[in-house]
Structure 1
Amino acid sequence: MSPRAGSPGPGPGTLAFVESPVQLLNVLEWAHAHAPDGQWPPGAGLTLVVLSPVDPMTRGQLRRMAELAREEGHDVRWEEARGGTLAPFQTVGGLTSLLRRARRVVMGDPFSRYVQLLLTLTKASELVVVDDGTATMEFVTQLAQGERLVRWHRKGGRPAPRDLLFAPVSSSARRRLTPTPERTVEIFSSMPIEKIPDGVTVTANDFAWTRARFGPPRVAKGADMVGTSLVETGVVDADRYLDAVRTLAKTHGATRYFAHRRESTEKLHRLAVETGLEVVRPDLPLELIARRGPVGRTILSFPSTVVHTLPLALAGTEVRVAVCDIDPAWLTTKASPRAQGFLSGVTSTARDVHRLPGTSAVVAG
């Protein structure tokens, strides 16, 4: 997986849609990878549209990432896409002319209903999907097998009424994300992609922009822990999760807990009280926080995107990423039948990480 020779980079006619800080980071990585000598001349950047969510933590990180994007020479358009009943209509209406003119559309979340709706309005001849974490792995599988686009933690359940109403739009988006002689599709990813859909170009994201822009970090003694939103998505039981965090912190001498932007305030407060960990709410994606430093010599994580991205962002440093598997006993009764297999796959396909043998069994017991 390598950048295409002679591939045109971002410029007028390139429109990117993001809804999370990680998506925005990966658009910047994509732009860097496709730029001559890693830098685009003034005025040749892309137009980056932020479809802002309502969550305050996500909005804060997105604003910081938007500042970095502007510093790189890109135009940033902030859309209050969820700011009331009329907001979706106003957002789509305001973007229609841009979509009609765009020759290339870059997106961070092909599962997003917003993005799927916007895809029906564009005739762009080039579509690019950048990583939205481990969801990219599921997207590629579904695209290759011609399945409907469904997030992994919802797969296996009955479609909600809204899903049924939106099904025609989702089907249209999947067709548009399938390459044709008139339309190319690129996936820009740091995730392991074993089966590449026919006609799709896969380009490796090695976090070159992050490594050039930040660090190297100061490496401190001890360990840091990375949080996950598996409790908030209904996959993992809250009590089991806190037990696992407590055991890992004690075993490995962790002192800081970097919260996921979707973790609830209530859970984090309980975690801080019961484990003694210092809870840190990062103002940027963890790849940038870790690269900027200081960072612990060991980073502890459960199966998540960071077990794939942190080794790349921290390449050349002394930091070790260690991952603790999710024990089946931690799953809730609401967890998708696909949950255990998907999470195990996230860990088993990660490169340059240390798996923690026996930790799951100790915590579960």
Structure 2
Amino acid sequence: MSPAPADTDTLAFVESPVQLLNVLEWAHTSARTERPADLTVVVLAPRDPMTRGQLRRMAELAREEGHTVRWEEARGGTAAPLRTIGGLTPLLRRARRVVLGDPFSRYVQLLLGLTRARDLVVVDDGTATMEFIGQLARGERLVRWHRHGAGRGPREVLFAPVAATARRRLTPGPEGARRRRTVALFSSMPVEAPEGMTVTANDFAWTRSRFGPPRPTRTADIVGTSLVETGVVDTDRYLAAVARLARTHGATRYFAHRRERAGKLHRLATETGLEVVRPDLPLELIARRGPVGRLILSFPSTVVHTLPLALQGTGVQVAVCDIDPAWLTAHASPRAQGFLDDVTGTARDVRRLGPAGHESGV
């Protein structure tokens, strides 16, 4: 674990490989308009082995770019949260700017309550950014889109003051205010930021300069999703949809999402004949590095927004398959279908496929 220097200019908190990728993209873009940030990336390590593995690889890339990486076993036992927060508090007090990848994270919300930084930057945590911006603009409490219902259990009630403070910190201060707080968004998502929040487009310039271009193959690839694992989509319906996509478009490989369960993936490989690939880096880097299919097929997810940017000029096409409402489970959030439709409908430079896997007339 590398300690942060005493004069840390910018602290970034990440909990997933995609968040760390977007911090690197932000640092690359920021260096064009201002002096390079003295950046310390704090990895609040999750328990999931696949996520940890990808984060380790992304941490190596961050160090190669000259950034400091501090790995925190933030969930390593009951005492870990107190130890982690205690160790980070002095750094938070000194940092001029804080960059965060998941404003819904309770860990991040706790840390936001401790910082004196007047400049906050939110980088994409995938499609969750779209929900975050909408809730912030409407003044709602921050709740992940796939959470069922609007009820608040004892833990939510206990944590409510911390969450409310975090939401206030993430709301830009009024113009002309003394020691005005600024909040910026660095995003590849199609969002309209609330008044006072600045938005910088993430065009994946660092990824395109660092990797590839790839060599497209003659076949198609399918991108996996964790919609089954989050309780949104029925397992059998999902596997049937993947099989249809593979048959219709001649797909040979299935790039598994880091959260997909091993049992489900074994069944998928057996029933569809697809080669299941467990990427060691975020898919944007895997695809850019290549080889990659001439056509990449996905269900509604972050990659339908990011892959067209990362693969710009390569000739690789991205297609998104709609989610049939009949695929949703009884436990799916009432907001699920609308949110998934919005993810698909706002994607740029992609082919739109119906639930059966054929071109959509929408």
TM superposition score normalised by structure 2: 0.94
Instruction: Report the CA distance between 1:45 and its aligned residue.
Output: 3.3
Q: Distance in 2 between matches of 1:81 and 1:25?
A: 20
- Aligned partners of 2:220 and 2:296 also within 8 Å: yes
Local SS of the residue matching 1:323: strand
Instruction: Report the CA distance between 1:88 and its aligned residue.
Output: 0.3
Residues 1:236 and 2:233 aligned together: yes
Alignment deviations for residues 138-157 of structure 1 (CA, whole Å, 9 cap, x no partner): 00000111000000011534
Residues 1:192 and 2:185 aligned together: no
* Aligned equivalent of 1:90, options 83, 87, 105: 83
Q: Distance in 1 between matches of 2:38 and 2:54?
A: 21
* Aligned equivalent of 1:211, options 200, 208, 213: 208
- Aligned partners of 2:137 and 2:194 also within 8 Å: yes
The 1:77/1:314 distance shift into structure 2, 3 A limit, reads same
Q: Identity of counterpart residues, as a percentage?
A: 77
- Aligned partners of 2:317 and 2:350 also within 8 Å: yes
Q: Where has structure 1 moved over 3 Å in runs of 4 or more?
A: 36-40
Residues 1:25 and 2:21 aligned together: yes
Local SS of the residue matching 1:359: coil
Q: Distance in 2 between matches of 1:39 and 1:133?
A: 27
Instruction: Report the CA distance between 1:123 and its aligned residue.
Output: 1.1
- Where do 1:111-150 residues align within 5 Å? 111-150=104-143
What is the aligned partner in structure 1 of residue 224 from structure 2? 227
Q: Distance in 1 between matches of 2:285 and 2:33?
A: 22
Q: Distance in 2 between matches of 1:340 and 1:19?
A: 26
Residues 1:249 and 2:235 aligned together: no
* Aligned equivalent of 1:35, options 10, 31, 34: 31
Q: Distance in 2 between matches of 1:155 and 1:232?
A: 14
What is the aligned partner in structure 2 of residue 13 from structure 1? 9
What is the aligned partner in structure 2 of residue 275 from structure 1? 272
What is the aligned partner in structure 2 of residue 81 from structure 1? 74
Q: Distance in 1 between matches of 2:136 and 2:35?
A: 32
Instruction: Report the CA distance between 1:188 and its aligned residue.
Output: 0.4
Q: Distance in 1 between matches of 2:60 and 2:320?
A: 32
1:263 is aligned with what amino acid? E
- Aligned partners of 2:207 and 2:288 also within 8 Å: yes
Residues 1:302 and 2:295 aligned together: no
1:13 is aligned with what amino acid? D
Local SS of the residue matching 2:69: strand
Local SS of the residue matching 1:245: helix
The 1:274/1:239 distance shift into structure 2, 3 A limit, reads same
What is the aligned partner in structure 2 of residue 69 from structure 1? 62
- Aligned partners of 2:324 and 2:355 also within 8 Å: no
1:214 is aligned with what amino acid? F
What is the aligned partner in structure 2 of residue 4 from structure 1? none
Local SS of the residue matching 1:310: helix
RMSD between superposed Cα atoms in Å:
1.5
Local SS of the residue matching 1:152: coil
Instruction: Report the CA distance between 1:38 and its aligned residue.
Output: 9.8
Instruction: Report the CA distance between 1:360 and its aligned residue.
Output: 6.0
Local SS of the residue matching 1:23: helix
Instruction: Report the CA distance between 1:359 and its aligned residue.
Output: 2.0
Local SS of the residue matching 2:252: strand
1:20 is aligned with what amino acid? S
Alignment deviations for residues 166-211 of structure 1 (CA, whole Å, 9 cap, x no partner): 1110001000001113100001000001x32010001100000000
Q: Distance in 2 between matches of 1:318 and 1:38?
A: 33
Q: Distance in 2 between matches of 1:155 and 1:122?
A: 31
Q: Distance in 2 between matches of 1:358 and 1:121?
A: 46
Q: What runs of 5+ residues in structure 2 fail to find an aligned partner?
A: 1-6
Q: What runs of 5+ residues in structure 1 fail to find an aligned partner?
A: 1-10
Instruction: Report the CA distance between 1:357 and its aligned residue.
Output: 3.8
* Aligned equivalent of 2:333, options 318, 321, 336: 336
Local SS of the residue matching 1:243: helix
Q: Distance in 2 between matches of 1:259 and 1:357?
A: 21
- Aligned partners of 2:18 and 2:126 also within 8 Å: yes
Alignment deviations for residues 104-159 of structure 1 (CA, whole Å, 9 cap, x no partner): 00000000000000000001010000000000000000011100000001153422
Q: Distance in 1 between matches of 2:286 and 2:35?
A: 23
Q: Distance in 1 between matches of 2:343 and 2:25?
A: 22
- Aligned partners of 1:22 and 1:132 also within 8 Å: yes
Q: Distance in 1 between matches of 2:138 and 2:9?
A: 31
1:80 is aligned with what amino acid? E
1:183 is aligned with what amino acid? R
* Aligned equivalent of 2:255, options 239, 254, 258: 258
Instruction: Report the CA distance between 1:361 and its aligned residue.
Output: 9.0
The 1:198/1:37 distance shift into structure 2, 3 A limit, reads closer
Q: Distance in 2 between matches of 1:92 and 1:39?
A: 29
TM superposition score normalised by structure 1: 0.93
Local SS of the residue matching 2:122: strand
The number of aligned residues is 348
- Aligned partners of 1:111 and 1:151 also within 8 Å: yes
* Aligned equivalent of 1:163, options 156, 170, 174: 156
Local SS of the residue matching 2:86: helix
Instruction: Report the CA distance between 1:356 and its aligned residue.
Output: 1.3
